[in-house]
Chain A
Amino acid sequence: MKKPNLLALGFSLLALALPVHAQLAIEITGAGANRIPLAVAAFDGERIVSQALVSVVRSDLERSGLFRMVDPGTNPIAENATINYGDWRGKSSDALVVGSVLPLAEGRYDTRFRLHDIPKQQLLTTQGFTHTAAPYQLRSTAHHIADAVYEKLTGERGVFSTRIAYVVKSTGRYELQIADADGANPQPALASREPIISPSWSPDGSKLAYVSFEAKKPVIYVHDLASGRRHVAANFKGSNSAPAWSPDGKRLAVVLTKDGSSQIYLVNVDGSGVTRLASSAGIDTEPQFAPDGQAIYFTSDRGGSPQIYRIPAAGGEAQRVTFEGSYNVTPRLSPDGKSMAYITRDGGHFKLALMDIANKQTQILTDSSKDESPSFAPNGRVILYATEVGGRGVLAAVSVDGRVKQKLSVQAADVREPAWGPFVK
């Protein structure tokens, strides 16, 4: 039995006490233009618990690139403490997080925090969480606190308590793993000697569809994460690949070759009701629903080179979306449907690009050369993708303005095929 790999996204200095076998490999470059100065004070109460919590809150917020962390000193400040706003103003902090961890019965704790606006001298929010001292519960509580602070200060929903899926390839072994958005707490969902590709989250975050080669050919499975049960969603003669969920979670767009070359079909999640969506003489693949469910974006070589097209989800005429360059693939729509991440070939290099759907303006977001598999964070602010550094597969994340960049790697293994999970209540 192999120990779980640790995918490292957090700051090493601030990260929660990690298992000794963990090898962090983190690189963060760039930051947002106008970072909000923020102090997160030590929480009052049981010290070991509060330290583990607060370090995760700080690293979550700092990693977003939207905050400049102000040194709060080492003294804990209780949730209900009277705040001397003048003092904090003197430290150039615009916001302050304070909190308390109170032990309850049976190893449980009640953690409450307050977020103060320093210049306005007012309380912005206060919230409480009940949890145990189990590491994953502490992390989960910290991610929820960070989400609340992030949302109050930026006006956007935080993604710290969401999860990511990805595939780790080590010698002769493939593992589909699920981790917290910061890469901590990785859980293997499936292990195989054969490749696993194209994981795709159900809209409610309870299932993954993916392609596994365990039957010596690509077959699509739907895997329930809580129970570990899975079923074959498509196993027709030929290859079965590229599953994508409809926004209502009832259907999958898939690529089948049962009638010749790779073509797009819709199937019910249980594998029934197969209908063909589009027809071309060449390759159609990589379908993805627009967030409103009305259209499907896909890659096709029907025009002579691989380009991105859009077709009504009910079928009809396909419209070409990309025109510049001779290789544009893997369309991924932002959660608001207004922009599209994709991979473009630029002088032999494969780079992550972003297109504004309305005006077709495009921006290349990376300077790497083997980018693949982009995936939007559910708040649309960051794109996670796979790339290669020093001959090894790593995951990288870039903010949609291209300013904040992170790389995430696993020791002695390739990481690939990232998929950022949805918001979960």
Chain B
Amino acid sequence: MEILVCVRRVPDTSENEIELNSAGNDIERDELVYSINEWDNYAVEEALQIVSRVGGKVTVVTVGDDEDEEILRRQMAMGATHGVLLSDHLFAGSDGRGIAAILKAFIQKGNYELILTGVQAEDGAAQVGGMLAAMLDYPFASLVNSIEILDGKTLRITREIEGGNKELNEIDLPCVLSIQTGINEPRYVGMRGIRQVASVPIPTFGAPDLGVNPEIVGPLAAKIRRVDYFLPAAGRGAEMLYGKPEEIADKVVELVRTKGGLS
């Protein structure tokens, strides 16, 4: 199966102290460390596991610039067959729709049966997967947390729904799925693996290569604009639970369950 995974490089929330810049319109980006968006990492792992079961190839693609090659290499070290960078100065400042349009153009040049994205990016709006499917006129399922290949044409998937419940679906190929964390246990990528793919060439495609109309990408085409970044006002204090230890434990379990932490 030919699988494409759309990935993105984001500031690593566990390794940065995110602060607003002095203008208040963006985060302070000096000294940030980046990594692959966590959801995308699960998507790549899932693609690799599917390929190890049924054969095929995994391609990872990102829209960005030279610095984003880093995550493509990391995913190739993980086992992805190809990494592709979609880069053009025209792409900078695109909104989700613009990114989806760029990805769509790339996908139509290939022959991918299954397209995976993360549910959302750590700094994103969880919109590219759905828009991409719509532009391609492919079926789409979000929040996918298991994939089973039924035959060459159909997948059986489960989706996570509110309250920690699961929903079982069948979906026809080709399709787009947005992958939820916890679908698998992503493998570790060591420095050795990254160094081994350090010199593998990564093909880069710009707007002309993809046949992307410059008028539908970039800041001018964006229909969503970021106006402000701010820290939410501190809410009221923590909720205190009272009672015997057993009662408190029951309340905690119930709270976690209603928030979807237990299934």
On whether the two chains bind one another, the answer is: no
